[in-house]
Amino acid sequence: MSFIQIVLLGAIAGFTIYFGLPVGRIQAIGDKTRSFLSMASAGILLFLLIDIFGNLSRPITDALQQASSGKANYAGFFLLLIISLVGLGGGLIGLTLFEQRFMRIRGPVDSVKSHTRLALMIATGLGLHNFSEGLAIGQSAGRGEIAFAALLIIGFGLHNATEGFGIVGPLMGSKPSWGFLGLAGLVGGGPTFLGTMVGYYLLSTPMSVLFLSLAAGALLYILGELFHVARRGEAKFQIGWGLFVGFVFAYLTDLVLIAAGV
């Protein structure tokens, strides 16, 4: 499979995020339903964060085991550990600074503007994560593992379709414009395409660790914002159920992919 074919398939895997975005234009919902859907979005992101940490820790623990058994020195382990900590801090603090500097809301702050900003932040965090997914696709293809790369494309494509809902969860009831949904999808899904191109020619475990840790830090910040918004409401019951349903939905989706061999 050629570079062009792999990149095109990587683009498809990233832009399946658009499948879930139109749900955000549904207007006829109440505050309690909005709280439920927003926290369902948080549940999806929470599972994704746990999944990211699992993938992030694997190369680090492998390097530690190699060093402990004398098969390698500790320099590789400490390098990956430092990269992961820098990436985690960079994703968490960097997204905070990015919001304060570039995403300030001008004029009176209402719930629509606040939720719109939060949706863009979610898309940004998912974009970092999806870049690392693109790296995995490109690196697999670059090593000649075409069958595995194809499975990754299918799996990530299905998974990214659920991420679209994760972005628009806080927007339910406000009917965002098609232009905004297009931008959010580009920010969240486009990096899969870019990561595929980079990963095809640059086979680098440290780079993969860096972008996974950046994504983890960004999602930590976003989850903090989602929980902060949820605490302002009175729908405690809907908030709890929404978080549970979103997490279970993402978990079951992941199990389906594992069963398919992805």
pLDDT exceeds 80 at position 109: no
Q: Which residues of 161-197 are buried (b: 16+ CB within 10 A; e: fewer)?
A: bbbbbbbbbbbbbbebeeebbeebbbbbbbbbbbbbb
pTM strictly above 0.75: no
pLDDT in tens, 193-237: 888 888 888 777 888 788 778 878 877 877 877 777 666 556 677
68: which 2 tokens? 């402990």
- Secondary structure of residue 109 in the 3-state scheme: coil
pLDDT for 214 equals 81
| Nearest by Cα to 13 from 141, 205, 143, 168 | 141
| Nearest by Cα to 133 from 11, 34, 233 | 11
Can you tell me the distance from the alpha carbon of 54 to that of 19, in angstroms, rounded to the nearest whole number? 26
pLDDT for 223 equals 81
Domain range enclosing 217: 3-259
Range of weakest confidence among 132-141, 147-156, 174-183? 147-156
HSE toward the beta carbon, residue 63, CA cutoff 13 A: 18
54: which 2 tokens? 């699992």
36: which 2 tokens? 């439920």
Return the top range by mean pLDDT from 4-8, 59-63, 101-105. Answer: 59-63
pLDDT for 83 equals 93
Whether the CB-CB separation of 117 and 99 falls below 8 Å is answered with yes
φ/ψ (deg, to 5) at 30: -90, 175
Q: What is the number of residues in the chain?
A: 262
pLDDT for 130 equals 81
pLDDT exceeds 60 at position 13: yes
Please state the domain count of the chain: 1
86: left (phi over 0), alpha (psi -120 to 50) or beta: alpha
Q: What is the DSSP string of 177-206?
A: -HHHHHHHHHHHHHHHHHHHHHHHH---HH
If one compares 180 and 33, the residue with the highest pLDDT of the two is 180
- Secondary structure of residue 39 in the 3-state scheme: helix
pLDDT in tens, 33-83: 767 777 887 888 788 888 888 888 989 999 999 999 888 889 999 999 999
- For residue 103, CA distances in Å to 11, 126, 170, 199, 237 come to 27, 17, 17, 30, 31
